Structure 1
Amino acid sequence: MSPIKDFNVVYKALNQEDTFSQGDTIVGTVSFTLTKDTKVKVLLVKAKGEARVHWTEGTGDRRRSHNAHRRYFKLKECLVAENEKGTELRKGDHQYKFQFTIPQGAMPSSFKGFHGKVVYTLAAKMSRSWRVPSGVQKELNFVSRSGFHPGQVLAQSGSVDKKMGCFSAGEVQMSATINTNVCSPGDTVSAVGKICNSSSKQMRAKFSLQQRIVYRATGSRNYSDLSLCKMVGETIAPNSEETVSCQLIVPADVIPSVHNCDIISVDHYLKVYLDISFAIDPKVEFPLVIVPPGAAARQPGGPMGPMGPGVPVGPMGPMGPMGPETSGLKIQNKLLVKCLQVQRGSVGGRVSLGECSPHSSLQEWRWLPESQALGSQHTGECLTAPGEQYEGVHLQPCVGRPEGDGAGAREAAEDAGRQSWFCSKKGQLTLAGRGLHLSATQESTLVFLSRQHKQPGSRWRTLDNQTLCDGRDSQHQPHHSLGKSLEPGRFPNAVSDIKAPFEGMMAVTGTSPVVDVPLPSPSTKSPADPTMVFYSMDYGMGWKITMLVLSSLALVLGTVILILNVYSNRSKKVVCILKSYTPRPEMSVPGSPAPSERAPLTQHAMRLPHSSPTLQRGRILIEWKDGSVTPLYEG
């Protein structure tokens, strides 16, 4: 029987939520009771944070496992020094105090999913010679401070149009607005939709809060989608206008968003759409960042700038060493119609995709010609490639080309190589000398590296639909301004990018009630409007449905003709006609007619009386010398 009793580890809580973050200090005690004097090899306590992903695919011989692991920190302290001979501890109660400081860095919050988890643990272990070690472990509730920064609370607005197909006529327009992009479990999200139904169909407005979890390992991905809550509006009659609103309560047990982990990501979005029968539902999707309670510190009542609700008052943030002399370059993904951006107030953080905003300094980039690097106008840092494929890119201080041949110079050259990018006329951003291309997917906002340069998510462009090489060459010219990128006809159209998840963003500094946005007519829409961007969704459904119906009819008609031909051929019989041949003398066979009684066969095929009504197809006839014709077989 083990002499160790009541082995336990306890720590002091820092707040009512019992959470820890970067830079916090963990103070605790390891306690146990010994029933007799015991020799201990080592007594230690350790704290660590790590992320793990695991799932399997296929069956039998094609079964394959996918695994990934990331360690964020590991701290260890020996309470009883390690000794192979053992350190003798007296009988009785023992208590040992310890203290850890969680390091700084981009670490995700605690998370548990079906195929992976992010876990932070505090464990104590006692080892004895020739005995099974005794241990105890407790999980820490870790809340990351690198995922959200105050001042990012923005209202969002978007619009969508849809032309009805051949089964109905008219057009549908919808404009939607929500009051925030950051919320916590238990918060209420207000959404307002204004629908102009100029078609001959009935429809319903629906609001749905969606969650998507993406697991990444060994170049593969596993997706998990979940609808957290859903509300359905009243039926909207044909040729009418309606304004619908809803109050969605974020569930209390929802998983917070995770954006700073390269193998696990958790995204949330509010989808506003119209349910139309026998048609593709037009929708507007608004991204939401769900943070733990108390993390989203709102700033109500802030003033708006002179440019309207899209531009806040005051400086846009630290400009860094680049300076404010140029408006910078906005890098937009051609597939997703989203722009490359950094996190506000973030230094050394991840780079993600966000809705393109003409006035956001978070999306301003600049080419550094001396090192072929892309620098952020907001932080002054450079876009840096990760160590492996499918890992997220991030920001690091810009590194110039070193001089010399020492070990430090080689390390600096390696770091500079991870910041050197080349652009192509096809729109790829390629890491110099590595063959890795900057890529993105529709399932996540993560920006990563991939060798598959032909995939649609690896093509980038500027807001005025030019290649990044053209944007690099014209970056320092005076006429290159945001006004050019917003000229009519130059703004990216969502007709070729139907997958664009949401349109437009309107910035406010408060949580006041949402104001109804008037639904603009098609003639009043302007791409140069800085407060709201509208996208047209003309699917060409009439032509598509017509071609589908015609191809289906052609398939049915061809099948009927084929069946009729098969039955017709089965009822036909081949008429065999004996060809003449030159008779050769042969011996008579007993029972056969005498040679004199046989009709000599000519060198030409006999001519049958086709008009005779007694003849039947398939019968073999013999014409005798006297002119009579008899069948070869009777009956």
Structure 2
Amino acid sequence: MAKLQMFDVVFDGNDAGVYHSGEVIRGYVRIVLGGVKNDVRGIQIKFKGESHTHWSEGSSKNRRHYSAKEVYFKEKLICWGKGKNDRGASKLTLESGEHRFPFSFQIPNVPLPFPFESYVGWIRYRIMCKIDRPWKFNHNTERLFTVVGLPIDLNSMPHARIPSHQESTKTVCCLCCAQGPIIVKASTDKGAYVPGESIFVSGTIENNTSREIVDITYKLVQYVTYFSSGGHKTRRVTTIVKDKAPGCRRREVARLNWKPLVLPPIPPTGPQGCNIIKIEYLVQFEGDVSNTPLDAEVKLPVFIGTVPLYQTQYPDPSAVVSEQPSSSAATAPPPSYQVAMEGLQEIPSKSGHDYTFGKLMYAPQYPTYNLPASAPTWDPAHPPQQAGPGSYPEYPQKY
């Protein structure tokens, strides 16, 4: 029977492992032994928050590797025994049975980015624990946790309630003859949301060609830009949620009337506090033009936050707004913290060898709300108020 039967990190009163900036993490290291272990110098624990990007471009001899790293905090302490460099360090004995070694650590009270996972880059907060054994392989265990940075309150953003609206005109060419145009108009019901809400999308495709609009696709797309320390960057595009609606025949108009896209648990726009990963969101509204690889589309920038708007109904556009709703009014329901839409993933061990105890499975958790959804009643072609230049971040462009 192996002597080391259990080696893990337990949080006091916080099984979900979700903490806020400035909060104190309390818990203990649990070790269960099936026999006496007399080869231990000490038990070390390390707290670390960091982000990392890494990707490659090119092939063969022209292949280039790019990476960057940011460290948000790092602290190491000895739970029991002594460290490698301590004077008088010697082998100690742990008896058979269960042992608990308490710890506490205060997360820095500064804006910290939400955790994020992808194969190109990640933002992680972890506890790494080591049973230090002189002249032998150490035993290691790790636990990742979620840090909720400072709230991203949509009530503090003047344009969060303003619909995102775009129009475009597309001409379809057939040999030497141009057909069209196809006129696309689309709107969202507002400009900012939180996970759990519904983005209501409305739009029209005026088809002035002899081709059919096969269908309409409306979807939320996540654009993530990764930066290297040398100034290079790459981008990955992911469809978060999408749906389809009927198209139309030639010389007709296809319409979509305020259909919802329910937001799953996703990271907010940003992320705040991180300089090497940038997350943006767009609602893409497009018509599939038959017999051509080209689509007629518009892209609507939207912002994802962590504190919802307390009042989402639009006032009379002709009325004068004398007072904005106060973000201090405690009328927003509390969020639940839901596992990211990708689910649990296996995280490679930081120690990099086979002496890590157990498989490390992890998924970030994001604040998610259960909010009532009601479609707008105003005409999307004439929003009650439109944002001026610079009101929204520009949607991502191709490099």
TM score, norm. by length of structure 2: 0.68
| Pairing of 1:410-489 with structure 2 (within 5 A) | none
Residue equivalent to 1:75: 75
Contact kept in structure 1, 2:155 and 2:325, CA below 8 Å: no
Q: What is the distance in 2 between the residues matched to 1:143 and 1:191?
A: 29
**C-alpha separation in 2, matches of 1:229 and 1:37:** 52
Q: Deviations over 1:141-184 (max 9, x none)?
A: 23333555544443423131426467356654443221244445
Q: 1:302-317, aligned counterparts within 5 Å?
A: 304=315, 313-314=323-324
| Matched letter for residue 64 of structure 1 | R
Distance 1:41 1:148, change over 3 A: farther
Map 1:488-499 onto structure 2 (within 5 A): none
Distance 1:147 1:68, change over 3 A: farther
> Which runs of 5 or more structure 2 residues have no equivalent in the other structure?
328-371, 390-399
Q: Name the SS for the 1:298 alignment partner.
A: coil
Correspondence 1:140 to 2:133? no
Please state if 1:159 is matched with 2:166.
yes
CA positional deviation for 1:300: 2.4
| SS of alignment partner, residue 61 of structure 2 | helix
TM alignment of 1:383-398, pairs within 5 A: none
C-alpha distance in structure 2 between counterparts of 1:249 and 1:56, whole Å: 34
Deviation at residue 258 of structure 1 after TM alignment: 4.3
When structure 1 is superposed on structure 2, of 224-233 and 295-304 the one drifting more is 295-304
The answer to whether the 8 A contact 1:86-1:128 is kept is: no
Aligned 8 A contact 1:151 1:299 in 2:
no
CA separation of 1:229 and 1:88: change in aligned 2, threshold 3 A: closer
Distance 1:299 1:290 in 2: 15
Contact 2:210 2:250 in 1 (8 A): yes
TM alignment of 1:142-541, pairs within 5 A: 142-145=147-150, 147-152=152-157, 153-162=160-169, 164=171, 167=177, 171-197=181-207, 202-203=212-213, 204-217=215-228, 218-245=230-257, 247-250=259-262, 252=264, 257-260=269-272, 261-277=274-290, 281-290=295-304, 295-300=306-311, 304=315, 313-314=323-324, 512-517=374-379, 519=381, 531=386
In structure 2, C-alpha distance between the alignment counterparts of 1:8 and 1:279, rounded to whole Å: 53
Residue 78 of structure 1, CA deviation:
1.8
Which structure 1 segments of 5+ residues have no match?
A: 318-509, 521-528, 535-635
Partner of 1:324: none
Contact conserved, 2:31 with 2:99, CA < 8 A, in 1?
yes
Change (3 A) 1:149 1:227: closer
1:120 aligns with 2:125: yes
Task: Report what 2:342 is aligned to.
Answer: none
Q: Which residue of 2 aligns with 1:30?
A: 29
* 1:18–1:290 distance in 2 versus 1, CA, 3 Å: farther
Which structure's CA Rg is the greater one? 1
C-alpha spacing 1:235/1:61, structure 2 compared with 1 (3 Å): closer
The structure whose RCO (Cα within 8 Å, separation 6+) is larger is 2
Give the Cα separation in 2 of the matches to 1:286 and 1:530: 15
**1:91 maps to what in 2?**
95
Letter in 1 for 2:169: K
1:19 aligns with 2:18: yes
Per the TM alignment, residue 530 of structure 1 is displaced from its structure 2 partner at its CA by 6.4
Amino acid in the other structure paired with 1:19: V
Q: Which structure features the higher share of strand residues?
A: 2
Contact 1:259 1:267 in 2 (8 A): no
Quick one: distance in 1 between partners of 2:138 and 2:211? 71
Q: Bigger CA drift: 101-110 or 186-195?
A: 186-195
Distance of aligned partners of 1:89 and 1:514 in 2 relative to their CA distance in 1, 3 Å threshold: same
Any conservation in 2 of the 1:303–1:313 contact (CA below 8 Å)?
no
- 1:65 and 2:77 aligned: no
Aligned length: 330
Contact 2:310 2:325 in 1 (8 A): no
How much has 1:109 moved relative to structure 2?
1.3
1:285 corresponds to which letter in structure 2? K
Deviation of 1:216 (Å) = 1.5
The structure with more helix, counted as a fraction of residues:
1
AA at the equivalent of 1:63: R
C-alpha contact (below 8 Å) 1:39/1:87 kept by paired residues: yes
CA distance in 2, matches of 1:59, 1:114: 19
- Tell me: CA distance 1:159–1:33, structure 2 relative to 1, closer, same or farther (3 Å): closer
SS of the aligned residue for 2:222 comes to strand
| Contact map agreement 1:188 1:247 (CA 8 A) in 2 | no
Q: 1:532 to 1:511 in 2, by over 3 A?
A: farther
Change (3 A) 1:24 1:255: same
1:85 counterpart letter in structure 2: A
Q: Following the alignment from structure 1 to structure 2, what is the Cα–Cα distance between the partners of residues 220 and 532?
A: 32
**1:100 equivalenced with 2:105 (yes/no):** yes
